[in-house]
Amino acid sequence: MGLRDTLNMSSGKVVLLGNEAIARGAIEAGVALATAYPGTPSTEIVEALAEVARDVGIYVEWSVNEKVAFEIAYSAATAGTRSLVAMKHVGLNVAADPLMSSAYTGVEEGFVIVSADDPSMWSSQNEQDNRIYGLHAYIPVFEPNHPKEAKSLVKEAFEFSARMKHPVIFRSTTRISHTRVVVELESIRSPIRRGTYVKNPKRYVLVPAHARELRVEMLKRWEMISREISKVPLNRIEGEGRVLIVAPGISYAYVKEALRILRLEDKIKLLKLATPVPIPRDMVLKAVEDVEKILVVEELEPVVEQQLKNLLFDEGIRVVVRGKDLVGYPYEMTVDRALKAIAKFLNMSFSMPEPAATQLPKYVFPRPPQLCPGCPYRPLFYVLRKQVDILASKKGREREPIFCGDIGCYTLGINPPFRVQDTCICMGASIGFANGFARVVHDRIPIAIIGDSTFYHAGIPPLINAVYNNNPLLVIILDNKTTAMTGHQPHPGVGITAMGEQTKAIDLEALVKALGIEWVKVIDPFRVKEAEKTIAEALEYVERERKPAVIISRRLCALVALRRALKAGYERVTYRVSEDKCWFMAMY
């Protein structure tokens, strides 16, 4: 059942993805505007909202990047409109500038910032804990323990934000966002889409004189938030005992399972936190009464542990607090990790249960991520590797160009036989790194490889920088007319909005020329000979003229092309591996 199927339901139970539950909670809370840039594991939130936007009467968009998305939702909230912005954890880095300012100005209606973190880095370059942004920016953080609770908690986040006139970060994680569960529906609040902006330069014009006063006001508001956070109903104390376990967010679910396995459910006091930043002071002080020792079980950084230790020190309460020394820092929480930490904390002799599967089946072959059959990146990378090998044969392997990669399907170009990724740091860094290499590695041409959606997101400023500083480098923009890796969302070059409306498509070639690039060529990577010739010419131009050049490799994503073909009535032809001829399968 999709989100649209639930719109006429004000009660009942349905199965929803965690991200769909967040979207449903936002609709029930009366959200009127939602923005995002796609990023796993957050993407389905705004996808779900976009699907029902017209039915509900809300505005939804895919913005060009997270900073722009944040500013749109932020401004709407200052005009009295309930707003949501969603992004993956690293997207909040992109939006950090307006994030910090939003706490100074506050808002006039509910403003919820969804950060979908990725412990264990299932689809990310790092596993930063964005609860720290809450501490840094003085913005409260709400965190559900379960996808079912996510729907209820996002409503609480909107109400709390509206009441405090302050933004709220709603932190999800991969396991919350991408788990399907039964969710109980409630009535939908009608959105108020028409905002009213009251001019107030002293509040919204952050020149130093105003910001100094707003800083003091923000700290006073933070004191009130710290008091009111204890009233959030999804914070609670469970059980009794002289031992307390504190578990924020999804860690609570793992702790509950571990206590059940250890048969300690009725012997341990448990503090469930739905608001890890700031911790609910009054409730925490009540929970630690008559407690001899405390264990904090949380994913990633010791955000709750450090706040708890600070509070106990300030209150003069002497009690042993353990946490990361037993639980550890990296990767997502598991029942096994919680079991080991609790058993060690309690000095229990405990043997881990045997895993359900002790032996892998015979025919379980490795399936690393790979470019799809028919992907236009395959011939492009083949041609690129071939031309680079020709260059290396003439000038030596030490003169081989440096391949500066970016975030997208094309990161898989790191694998054999292509091997065309030497760096991959963050969105847009391909061209940024190429700028740097162009100035310090004089005998090797930097080649930046970037997708079309990523180019619109973060590639334009570093390309301007290359023109401005006359840096000799080659940029290859992979124009497949979609944001492929996150599920084929539209982008500014497609001409379709998140809500399915036709709009003006940005002309990528005209844009690049307008930035001042003198050598621009468009190729079809399926025309291999032409592509070989163009890449060779581009490398020669960069080396001879010591200027930047751009190749736009244009061919529709294979999966999008397949869908269109099937819709047009073409028959799908299925191929399979001949097991008697495959050398790999013969090994088994």
pLDDT value of residue 137: 97
Domain 4-190+202-231 has CATH 3.40.50.970: yes
On whether the 236-345 domain is CATH 3.40.50.300, my answer is no
CA-to-CA distance for 168 and 536, rounded, in angstroms? Answer: 52
In this prediction, residue 584 carries a pLDDT of 58
Q: Give residue 327's pLDDT.
A: 93
pLDDT of residue 352: 75
551: its two tokens: 């190749």
475 phi-psi bin (left φ>0, alpha ψ -120 to 50, beta other): beta
Domain boundaries, the chain: 4-190+202-231, 236-345, 377-567
Structure confidence at residue 359 (pLDDT): 66
- Cβ 255 vs Cβ 245: under 8 Å: yes
Residue 363 burial (10 A CB sphere; 0-12, 13-18, 19+): exposed
Q: For the packed helices 208-228 and 147-164, what is the interaxial angle rounded to 10 degrees?
A: 130
Question: What string of DSSP letters covers 361-398?
Answer: -TT-------PPTT-THHHHHHHHHHHHHHHHHHH-GG
User: For residue range 140-183, what is the model confidence (pLDDT) as tens digits?
Assistant: 999 999 999 999 999 999 999 999 999 999 999 999 999 999 99
Both tokens of residue 296? Answer: 């904090």
Longest Cα–Cα distance in the chain: 78
Task: Please tell me the predicted confidence (pLDDT) of residue 253.
Answer: 95
- Residue 521 token pair: 């060529």
Distance of CA 346 to the CA centre of its chain: 36
pLDDT at 10: 78
Q: What helix, strand, coil percent values describe the chain, rounded to 5?
A: 45, 15, 40
**pLDDT per position as a tens digit, 420-467:** 999 999 999 999 999 999 999 988 999 999 999 999 999 999 999 999
> What is the rounded CA–CA span in Å between residue 171 and residue 115?
5
The answer to whether 4-190+202-231 and 377-567 have equal CATH topology is yes
This model's pTM is above 0.95: no
Residues (pLDDT < 70) of the chain are 1, 356-364, 583-588
Instruction: Say what angle helices 96-105 and 66-78 make with each other, to 10 degrees.
Output: 10
The predicted pLDDT at position 391 comes to 86
* pLDDT (0 to 100) of residue 586: 55
pLDDT for position 53: 93
**Top CATH class, 377-567:** alpha beta
